[in-house]
């Protein structure tokens, strides 16, 4: 096991990783920007170094600064968390050349799955269902039209380098397709420096279901069941849960096994999430792989009883996964609400500033992962998530009731939060009955 690792992140996930390290007996080196100086979670690390000004591109994203902190701190490994440098294959490679373990997949596996088109090809070769799509990159208008006429409108244009919904365009007829193709190319070129696009049949009102996978360096790969993340707004997830209400037991085993096979075939190690969309009739299609730990990982931890962060660190240090697939249960129901410093009544406008008072909920099956506290000042420079409220109960109905109770206990004074929108969603009949797709929030709630 490592003696000392660097936590290359901030906020709740930095705190989550520091906590896991303490339990493993591993020392931690934290980093912070000027915007996070004095944050209390930093006191829990053994050392903390400033890596630059508040702006992320000048600090948490500055590879030279992060590597310098790792060298000065004399660490054996770096945990990147999510966001920032977590899926940067170049950073991953630099860690390797500095002889520092990157707690995640190899740079090769990361790059292979980071290319959406290559990942699709790999899925196809592994007999993992993919949405009917173009064979690779679309280079001419004629190719695009031919594909659309083959599979039928509507079609979706996606950027090879895209992700998280950026650089996507829907087209419903020839004329729209021609202009959308040009727009998507220009947008992808500007956003990712790569204008390559491909086409897929557009699945309407999809549900978003993803599978957690863990792989060690000895060829063992297991899945840890699914999370349903259909409650989202503009590609920002609001609520995640496990099990999903939108798949049958047969679909669940087929999907989870497909995810496991894909990760195995890719020679991928450490934690991965395999994203699928599910259509109205229960067909599932591979979308992309996230080569990192995800925000919503606690939902999986609650139903499986497995600490994913500790597992990541152990696997990176060369340990074998201690379970076979049949040892991994999906017990009860877990729900997570993301608590953001945003005003849901004002179009989710960020609401940074001083938290005058914070009272965290507790009780049976309630977990609050947060770096915030009374007197904490939410900086305006980063994403607005200040915590995650997670509940775990025997049934989904009990989990909904527990979440409502916990949300009513959570008291955040001084800033606006997403608590009211969560209360609204949890009491909505469509959510209670599990009738939710990715258009639910925009269709039902914000329209009123």
How many CB atoms are closer than 10 A to CB 91?
22
Q: Of 35-43, 200-208, 301-309, 341-349, which part binds ligand MV4 (CB under 6 A)? A: 200-208
Among 2, 41, 202, 431, binds ligand MV4 (CB under 6 A): 202
Q: Which is nearer to ligand MV4, 272 or 321 (CB)?
A: 272
Q: Is 131 in the site for ligand MV4 (CB under 6 A)?
A: yes
Q: Is 232 in the site for ligand MV4 (CB under 6 A)?
A: yes
Does the annotation mark 345 as catalytic? no
Q: Is 165 in the site for ligand MV4 (CB under 6 A)?
A: yes
Q: Of 194-202, 332-340, 351-359, 366-374, which part binds ligand MV4 (CB under 6 A)? A: 194-202
Q: Which of residues 277-306 bind ligand MV4 (CB under 6 A)?
A: 277, 287-288
Among 12, 36, 101, 200, binds ligand MV4 (CB under 6 A): 200
Q: Which is nearer to ligand MV4, 68 or 439 (CB)?
A: 439
Which one from 227, 292, 314, 338 is the annotated catalytic residue? 292
How many CB atoms are closer than 10 A to CB 229?
25
Q: Which is nearer to ligand MV4, 222 or 259 (CB)?
A: 259
Q: Which is nearer to ligand MV4, 282 or 322 (CB)?
A: 282
Among 16, 79, 169, 208, binds ligand MV4 (CB under 6 A): 208
Active site residues: 292
User: Which residues of the chain form contacts with ligand MV4 (CB under 6 A)?
Assistant: 131, 156, 164-165, 200-203, 206, 208, 232, 235, 275, 277, 287-288, 438
């Amino acid at each position: 096991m490592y003696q000392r690792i660097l936590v290359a992140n901030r906020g709740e996930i930095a705190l989550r990783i520091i906590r896991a390290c303490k339990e493993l007996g591993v020392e931690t080196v934290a980093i912070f920007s000027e915007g996070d100086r004095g944050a209390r979670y930093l006191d829990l690390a053994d050392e903390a170094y400033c890596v630059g000004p508040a702006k992320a591109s000048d600090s948490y994203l500055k590879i030279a600064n992060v590597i310098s902190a790792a060298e000065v701190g004399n660490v054996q490994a770096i945990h990147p968390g999510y966001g920032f440098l977590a899926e940067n294959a170049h950073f991953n490679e630099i860690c390797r050349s500095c002889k520092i373990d990157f707690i995640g997949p190899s740079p090769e596996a990361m790059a292979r799955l980071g290319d959406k088109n290559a990942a699709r090809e790999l899925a196809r070769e592994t007999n993992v269902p993919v949405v009917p799509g173009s064979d690779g990159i679309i280079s001419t208008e004629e190719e695009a039209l031919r594909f659309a006429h083959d599979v039928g409108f509507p079609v979706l244009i996606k950027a090879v380098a895209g992700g998280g919904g950026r650089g996507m365009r829907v087209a419903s007829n020839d004329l729209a397709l021609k202009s959308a193709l040009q727009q998507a190319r220009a947008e992808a070129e500007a956003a990712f420096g790569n204008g390559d696009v491909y086409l897929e049949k557009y699945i309407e009102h999809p549900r978003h279901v993803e599978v957690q996978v863990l792989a060690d360096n000895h060829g063992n790969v297991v899945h840890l069941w699914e999370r349903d993340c259909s409650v989202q707004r503009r590609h920002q997830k609001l609520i995640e849960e496990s099990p999903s209400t939108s798949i049958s037991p047969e679909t669940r085993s087929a999907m989870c096994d497909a995810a496991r096979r894909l990760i195995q075939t890719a020679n991928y190690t450490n934690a991965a999430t395999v994203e699928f969309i599910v259509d109205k009739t229960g067909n599932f299609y591979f979308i992309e792989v996230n080569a990192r730990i995800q925000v919503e990982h606690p939902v999986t931890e609650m139903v499986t009883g497995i600490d994913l962060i500790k597992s990541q660190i152990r696997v990176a240090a060369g340990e074998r996964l201690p379970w076979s697939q049949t040892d991994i249960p999906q017990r009860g129901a877990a729900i997570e609400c993301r608590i953001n410093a945003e005003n849901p009544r004002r179009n989710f406008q960020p609401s940074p500033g001083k938290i005058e008072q914070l009272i965290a909920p507790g009780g049976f099956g309630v977990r609050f992962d947060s770096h915030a506290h009374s007197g904490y000042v939410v900086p305006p420079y980063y994403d607005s998530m200040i915590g995650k409220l997670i509940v775990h109960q025997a049934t989904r109905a009990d989990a909904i009731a527990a979440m409502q109770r916990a949300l009513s206990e959570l008291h955040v004074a001084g800033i606006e939060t997403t608590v009211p929108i969560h209360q609204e969603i949890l009491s909505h009949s469509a959510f209670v009955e599990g009738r939710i797709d990715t258009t639910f929030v925009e269709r039902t709630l914000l329209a009123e």
